[in-house]
Amino acid sequence: MQRSMGVAIVGCGYVADYYASTLPNHPQLRAVGVYDRNPARAADFGRHHGIHVFASMADLLADESVRIVVNLTNPQSHAHVTRSALEAGRHVYSEKPLALSLSEGRELVELAGSRGLTLGVGPCTLLGETAQTLWRALRDGVVGRPRLVYAELDDGAIHQMPYRTWISESGAPWPYLDEFRVGPALEHAAYYLNWLTAFFGPVTEVTSFSALVVPDKVPGVTGSEFAPDFTTASLRFTSGVIARLTCSTLAPEDRALRIIGDDGVLRVAECWDYGAGVTLRTLVPAERRESCDHYLEPPVPFPLVRPADYRYRYNQSPEQDLHDMDFARGVAEVADAVIEGRGARVSAQQALHVLEIILAMMECGMNKIESTFEPVTPMPWAGLPA
């Protein structure tokens, strides 16, 4: 018999629709109810998805059938909501970032540990077919020893886009002021930092440049409220790999990743699509290299370790790019970890390490990174290390 765990969502905004729509992909999850401090938003969301609406956070936490709290509030509320849920004895899956400061993040990791509770943190794209395929290829040594990584997280010049018209399927507006105040590094760097730290281990050193390039992006709002909209950093991993990661809400959309090894290059064009293709370029054999202009063969598709068969497309509007993301997979990972009595992938320790890296990225200069985390294990369906 399938054991299912009761799940309650806190924060019924723009991203919550993606969770509600992907929860049915995971039979181990059962939606019990939702809560938002904005009662009208909670009512619209609950009605749209046919989910019970709790009148207060206290009511939600008083419901014994809620085993996992899914924290989809704004980043400013993450630490408070996660702390309340952990103090009430609930496992938590939180959207990124874990918290906005290292001290709050540490406190949450310690609280979860001291209560024997599982705290998982998004994004969960590491659990997707694309990331798992890339990781398998690295374990199998298809590019030899990895040396260098170039990772782009450019979302386009959002201030030039009609962002005020972006509405989620249950009617939540895209929270543009919040996004500009938090900035692309805290909002998005984790999409690749989660992969890279899982693949290559902890980071020891970050050298960064960050700037608010377009402060006057919202008429009538002073730029001093906004976070840097451009951040580029070079990272040194304990394993010796060096990575350059750039985040912006200015340069045209580009979320490509290249991993350069001694024997070739792996590339992914998109980290917001769990089934995005992986390509491989291998070295031209030494005996042919003198007679051709290039040292790399043309890219060839590298097959995914399994088909990507989830059922939700990230954006509804045909004018927008489509992103296939199974948001609820991270919640399912927390449920599976609890059921199986093991630590969750997408762990809070890894999220704390990633938070320390991102906060260092947002400063200019060189910073040592102190935190570390237990190695992450690949998904069982992605095969064992070669």
Ligand X SMILES: NC(=O)c1ccc[n+]([C@@H]2O[C@H](COP(=O)([O-])OP(=O)(O)OC[C@H]3O[C@@H](n4cnc5c(N)ncnc54)[C@H](O)[C@@H]3O)[C@@H](O)[C@H]2O)c1
Closer CB to ligand X, residue 10 or residue 283? 10
Whether the Cβ atoms of residue 32 and residue 63 lie closer than 8 Å to each other: yes
Closer CB to ligand X, residue 143 or residue 351? 351
Closer CB to ligand X, residue 80 or residue 306? 80
Closer CB to ligand X, residue 73 or residue 130? 73
In the complex, the smallest distance separating the C-beta of residue 113 from ligand X, rounded to whole angstroms, is: 23
State phi, psi for 358 to the nearest 5 degrees: -65, -40
- State the burial class of residue 43 (Cβ atoms within 10 Å of its Cβ: 0-12, 13-18, 19+): middle
Closer CB to ligand X, residue 136 or residue 188? 188
In the complex, the smallest distance separating the C-beta of residue 256 from ligand X, rounded to whole angstroms, is: 19
In the complex, the smallest distance separating the C-beta of residue 159 from ligand X, rounded to whole angstroms, is: 16
In the complex, the smallest distance separating the C-beta of residue 100 from ligand X, rounded to whole angstroms, is: 10
Closer CB to ligand X, residue 91 or residue 96? 96
Token duo for residue 92: 């938590």
Whether the Cβ atoms of residue 361 and residue 186 lie closer than 8 Å to each other: no
User: What is the 3-state secondary structure of the chain?
Assistant: CCCCEEEEEECCCCCHHHHHHHHHHCCCEEEEEEECCCHHHHHHHHHHHCCCECCCHHHHHHCCCCCEEEECCCHHHHHHHHHHHHHCCCEEEECCCCCCCHHHHHHHHHHHHHHCCCEEECCCHHHCHHHHHHHHHHHCCCCCCEEEEEEEEECCCHHHCCHHHCECCCCCECCHHHHHHHHHHHHHHHHHHHHHHHHHCCEEEEEEEEECCCCCCCCCCCHHHCCCCEEEEEEEECCCCEEEEEEECCCCCECCEEEEECCEEEEECCCCCCCCCEEEEEECCHHHHCCCCCCECCCEEECCCCCCCCCCECCCCCCCCCCECCCCHHHHHHHHHHHHCCCCCCEHHHHHHHHHHHHHHCCCEEEECCCCCCCCCCCHHHCCCC
Closer CB to ligand X, residue 169 or residue 297? 169
In the complex, the smallest distance separating the C-beta of residue 227 from ligand X, rounded to whole angstroms, is: 12
- Residue number of the CB closest to ligand X reads 13
Strand partners, 172: none
In the complex, the smallest distance separating the C-beta of residue 178 from ligand X, rounded to whole angstroms, is: 6
In the complex, the smallest distance separating the C-beta of residue 16 from ligand X, rounded to whole angstroms, is: 6
CA distance 100 to 102: 7
Closer CB to ligand X, residue 272 or residue 302? 272
In the complex, the smallest distance separating the C-beta of residue 350 from ligand X, rounded to whole angstroms, is: 17
In the complex, the smallest distance separating the C-beta of residue 386 from ligand X, rounded to whole angstroms, is: 33
Q: Which residues sit at the interface with ligand X, rule CB under 6 A?
A: 10-16, 35-38, 41, 72-75, 77, 80-81, 95-96, 172, 174-175, 178, 187
Closer CB to ligand X, residue 283 or residue 334? 334
In the complex, the smallest distance separating the C-beta of residue 73 from ligand X, rounded to whole angstroms, is: 4
Token duo for residue 302: 């590298």
Closer CB to ligand X, residue 165 or residue 238? 165
